[in-house]
Amino acid sequence: MLVGQLISAGVELTLNQLLQLDPDCKPRLKKLAGKQLQVTINELPWTLLFTFSEQIDVSALQQNQQQLPADAAADCHITLGLSTLSELSDSSKISQLIQQGKLDLDGDIDVAQGFSNLMKELDIDWEEQLSKYTGDVVAHQTFSSVKALFNTAQQEVEKLADQLSAHLTKPEAVAVSEIEVADFCDQVNHLRSASDRLEARIDHLIASQQDDQ
Amino acid sequence: MSVSEHHVASDTSHEQAPESSEKTHFGFQQVDKNAKASMVAEVFQSVAAKYDIMNDVMSMGIHRLWKRFTIDCSGARAGHKVLDLAGGTGDLTAKFSRIVGDTGEVVLADINDAMLRVGRDKLRDKGIVSNVKYVQANAEALPFPDNSFDIITIAFGLRNVTDKDKALASMYRVLKPGGRLLVLEFSKPTSEVLNKVYDAYSFHLLPKIGELVANDGDSYKYLAESIRMHPEQDVLKDMMQEAGFEQVTYHNLTGGIVALHRGFKF
């Protein structure tokens, strides 16, 4: 029974820690102060209720629990399935999701958008955060090393992909190039058209022979 | 008296109404009814400074989840007026304060001034000042007008009240029609195995932890005893109904070690 409370406590702690790392988010959070956003995920037994003040408080309401109208009086209520969650990152798709019945939105959409913007626009200087524990020099060096490592890894992956592609297409030709695939598809289309025409002519000849007899 | 006999005593305490006589229980002792409030006050005077840390140690942090569950069942929202009775060091008040916002109000009430002082200092240190009031009040005679609050909570406080029926009636009076009372309190474990483990923990380990952390084993011995003397789930439900509350339900938490009772005034 307390699993919901454990999860809501974890979500609350994470959100508020992230907000604390970006002091510039306070005006955006202030705009939401006094509002409540309720999120129901069909597959979960709880509804999460986000209450905004100078921080975010998260409650887990039992979906099967007896609720009074006052319990469901959030300013905005979103109901969706787990599979729809990933599609929410693209805000242009929201209308489409509502039309498809994958997302149900009841109440003030500004609250949902405000929360989405609050989290999306978080700008956390992780190097600055690390420097509080390690000092500026170590933090800078660590982040420079990580960035360099990331860039090198990215370059190596791209190089490997190019080499693999070249190896597969030339000279042993284990695989074919993109142009060859397109050319092959064209040839297949021509052959299909020619065989359709031939089939039509044969049908026509058989029909005329039967008429003569 | 053995531990199991104490459970029987608690089971029948309401029907026999021992609190209506001149004597009442203070843990397993029978004491003068007029003396209980001051004896309880002494206990909390003694534990106030270490109350929060002891709660975390004793419950292994689970008391935070029990309190979250209480708030989640409260239906609190912006503009509500909440009474956090026996609110002690203000755990529930802090969260309620943020939920009800500037248009609402939370009253943190406790009979014990030491607990109230600790709670007030803690909340002020957290920057919670604008919508919280502090009132030293006896739950049996709440100093508020009728129909004042949307929500009343009493977390781990009712068992220390001398006359529980009187306290429930007082809460009913100050609750607004449509409002709800939430009683979070230690109760009786639903499984016999858990009951035995819990007894062993409460009567042997808990006073030692109290001695070690708060240098006050006696107060925690009282805590364990007072839990056993508190009415079990169904008895408390009946008491709430007799006080006038409707749609009274309870949820057992952590196998019934704690129960949350909820009742409405219509």
Q: A46-64 pLDDT, tens per residue?
A: 888 999 988 899 988 876 5
Domain ranges (residues) in chain B: 3-264
Residues A107, A139 within the same domain: no
pLDDT of A146 reads 85
Are B72 and A9 in contact (CB < 8 Å)? no
Residues A120, A132 within the same domain: no
Are A5 and B68 in contact (CB < 8 Å)? yes
Q: Of A5, A57, A65, which is closest to B98 when you measure between CB atoms?
A: A57
What is the 8-class DSSP label of residue B154? E
Cα-Cα-Cα-Cα dihedral sign, residues B78, B132, A2, B258: negative
- What is the span of the domain harbouring residue A112? 3-124
Q: For strand B246-253 and strand B105-110, is the pairing parallel, antiparallel, or unpaired?
A: unpaired
Whether residue B139 contacts residue B154, with contact meaning beta carbons closer than 8 Å, is answered with: yes
Q: How far apart are CA A32 and CA A25, in angstroms?
A: 11
Residues A139, A73 within the same domain: no
pLDDT of B206 reads 78
A38: which strand partners?
A49, A77
C-alpha dihedral over A166, A168, A173, A177, to 10 degrees?
-70
Are A36 and B254 in contact (CB < 8 Å)? no
Contact list in A for residue B66 (CB cut-off 8 A) is 2
pLDDT tens per residue across span B187-229: 889 888 988 888 888 888 877 887 777 677 677 777 777 788 7
Binding annotation of B for S-adenosyl-L-methionine: 89, 110, 138-139
How much is the ipTM here?
A: 0.74
Residues of chain B with pLDDT under 50: 1-20
Are A66 and B249 in contact (CB < 8 Å)? yes
Q: Of B71, B75, B253, which is closest to A2 when you measure between CB atoms?
A: B253
pLDDT of A64 reads 56
- Would you say residue A189 has pLDDT above 50? yes
How many other C-beta atoms are found inside a 10 Å radius of the C-beta of residue A38? 23
Interface of A with B in 50-79 (CB under 8 A): 51, 53-55, 57, 59-62, 65-68, 70-71, 73
Q: How far apart are CA B112 and CA A148, in angstroms?
A: 61
Boundary residue ending a domain (A59, A92, A124): A124
Residue given tokens 């986000």 in the structure block: A50
> pLDDT band at A173, cuts 50/70/90?
low
- Cα–Cα distance list, B228 to B10, B84, B143, B187 (Å): 6, 24, 30, 8
| CATH number of A108's domain | 3.30.1050.10
Residues A189, A136 within the same domain: yes
Contact list in A for residue B94 (CB cut-off 8 A) is none
Q: How far apart are CA A128 and CA A136, in angstroms?
A: 8
B182: which strand partners?
B153, B262
Residues A149, A190 within the same domain: yes
How many other C-beta atoms are found inside a 10 Å radius of the C-beta of residue A68? 12
Interface of A with B in 7-46 (CB under 8 A): 8-9, 33-34, 36
C-alpha dihedral over A196, A201, A207, A208, to 10 degrees?
170
A106: which strand partners?
A77
Mean per-residue pLDDT, A146-171: 82
Are B77 and A73 in contact (CB < 8 Å)? yes
Peptide bond connecting A27 to the previous residue in cis, omega within 30 degrees of 0: no
Residues A196, A179 within the same domain: yes
Coil, strand or helix at B163: coil
Residues A100, A170 within the same domain: no
Whether residue B100 contacts residue B131, with contact meaning beta carbons closer than 8 Å, is answered with: yes
Contact list in B for residue A53 (CB cut-off 8 A) is 98-99, 101
Mutate to test the interface with A, among B62, B80, B93, B98 (most CBs of A within 10 A): B98
- For residue B244, report the phi and psi dihedrals to the nearest 5 degrees: 120, -10
Mean per-residue pLDDT, A139-168: 83
Please give the residue of chain B at the shortest CA–CA distance from A49: B72
Residues A138, A164 within the same domain: yes
Q: Of the given ranges (A32-41, A106-115, A167-176, B216-225), which has the lowest mean pLDDT?
A: A167-176
CATH class name, domain B3-264: alpha beta
Are A5 and B103 in contact (CB < 8 Å)? no
Residue given tokens 């843990």 in the structure block: B27
pLDDT tens per residue across span A101-153: 888 888 888 888 888 888 888 777 777 777 778 777 887 788 888 888 888 88
Whether residue B172 contacts residue B244, with contact meaning beta carbons closer than 8 Å, is answered with: yes
Q: How far apart are CA A117 and CA B130, in angstroms?
A: 28
Residues A23, A120 within the same domain: yes
Q: How far apart are CA B75 and CA A67, in angstroms?
A: 8
Residues A150, A109 within the same domain: no
- For residue B79, report the phi and psi dihedrals to the nearest 5 degrees: 95, -10
Residue B18, burial from CB neighbour count under 10 angstroms (0-12, 13-18, 19+): middle
Residues A117, A142 within the same domain: no
Q: How many separate domains does chain A show? A: 2
Residues A149, A77 within the same domain: no
